[in-house]
Amino acid sequence: MEVQKNPARPTTDKNRRLRKRRTSSPLIPTLLILLIALAVTVTGCQKPETPAEPVEPLPPVVVEEPSAEEVPEVPEAQPVHEPKDNPQFGYGDEQGIFALLLSDPKTVNPESYTHLSLPGGAVTEIKYEGIQPPGPNDTVMDISSNFKQRYGAVYRLAGGKIPENDSVTLMTAPFVSARTFHNLTKVGTPSTDQALLKKIEAEKKMVMKHFWHLYDAENGAGIYLAQFEPQADQAMLTLVLRDQEDALWYAYFPANYVKELDLYSWRVDDGGEVHPESFIVGWLADFGSTPELALYWRGAEGEVLYWFRGDNGGLLKSHEGYRYWGAY
């Protein structure tokens, strides 16, 4: 039998050897080593991360409130008074339910007056009734018993009554709505407030002779009458309003003085004497930041009527009227 040399192996064995040869190739480990080395190199070349610096918290923001000195207060706007709304004076009939305007109705608008002041500072509404013609028995005296004989504009009161022979102030609706009225309580005694007396003497640089407390108001104000010692041939009588904030407002009544007779010229019908009960304050009101009041100065033969308006510490005469009654 002939023996073959190098007999042929099955195909499967050949393939198996080829796969074994490829798998055990020395190039594969080399490539892996190169890749690992490259990765290490790249990693080593990267800049190490710098640790983040701690963030310090911001200080709290303090918002300062503006002080009163830095933000000045805006003064309240003073209201404006129209001359057509000037008050007028009058008096009542014997029953006290009608009022007569003292001014000639031809010089004013009589229909514009819608309110009237009562004793104690209260204000009531009135209704215009028309013009009353003069009567045949007119004595020319402005008193309640002669009311129906006098010529003038007549008004009916909606409430309250006018005491016989008392004076009143007639007002328009705009006049009333622009003001705050304060009820008054009559005092009528010598003042015992020495601190106030000294303050007035210091401000006026005069010595007080008499000092009367006339009224108190519901808002805390007080009304006084100061008579100073005469200086040479001059004398001074002063109405003093101490308002609710203790500010002083003055109305001045100067007079001549005759030393030899100890006579003053304030009122001829009173012999120059001053009687505190003759000073009647009809009403007191605030007009914006300034005071206003009506003063009825009564004498033996009549009454002088004033409307005062506050101005820079003074009480200025803004309207003046007169009532004549002779020796009724």
Maximum Cα interatomic distance, the chain, rounded to a whole number of Å = 194
Q: How far apart are CA 49 and CA 46, in angstroms?
A: 9
pLDDT higher than threshold 90 for residue 46: no
Q: Look up residue 261 and give its two tokens.
A: 């007779």
Torsion (CA) 79, 112, 91, 279 in degrees, nearest 10: 10
Whole-number average pLDDT of the chain: 85
Least confident of 157-166, 178-187, 262-271: 262-271
Q: Which two tokens stand for residue 207?
A: 């010595």
Report the alpha-carbon distance of residue 189 to residue 240 in Å, rounded. 15
- Residue 315 — pLDDT band, cuts 50, 70, 90? very high
Higher local confidence (pLDDT), 25 or 242: 242
DSSP for residue 231? B
Q: Which residue has the tokens 């207060």?
A: 73
Taking only the tens place, the pLDDT of each residue in 131-173 is: 999 999 999 999 999 999 999 999 999 999 999 999 999 999 9
Q: What CA dihedral angle connects 153, 159, 161 and 167, to 10 degrees?
A: -50
Domains and CATH numbers, the chain: 82-178 (2.40.30), 180-328 (no CATH)
pTM: 0.76
Q: Can you tell me whether residue 305 is helix, strand or coil?
A: strand
Residues in the chain: 328
Residue 50's Cβ-side half-sphere holds a number of Cα atoms within 13 Å equal to: 3
pLDDT at 193 exceeding the cut of 90:
yes
**Tokens read off for 211:** 């000092």
Specify the range with the lowest mean pLDDT, choosing from 49-53, 55-59, 215-219, 254-258. Answer: 49-53
Lowest mean pLDDT among 72-86, 119-133, 190-204: 72-86
Give 193: exposed, middle or buried? Use CB within 10 Å, 0-12, 13-18, 19+. Answer: middle
**Cα 63 from chain centroid?**
31
Query: Under a CB-based contact definition with an 8 Å cutoff, are residues 245 and 220 in contact?
Result: no
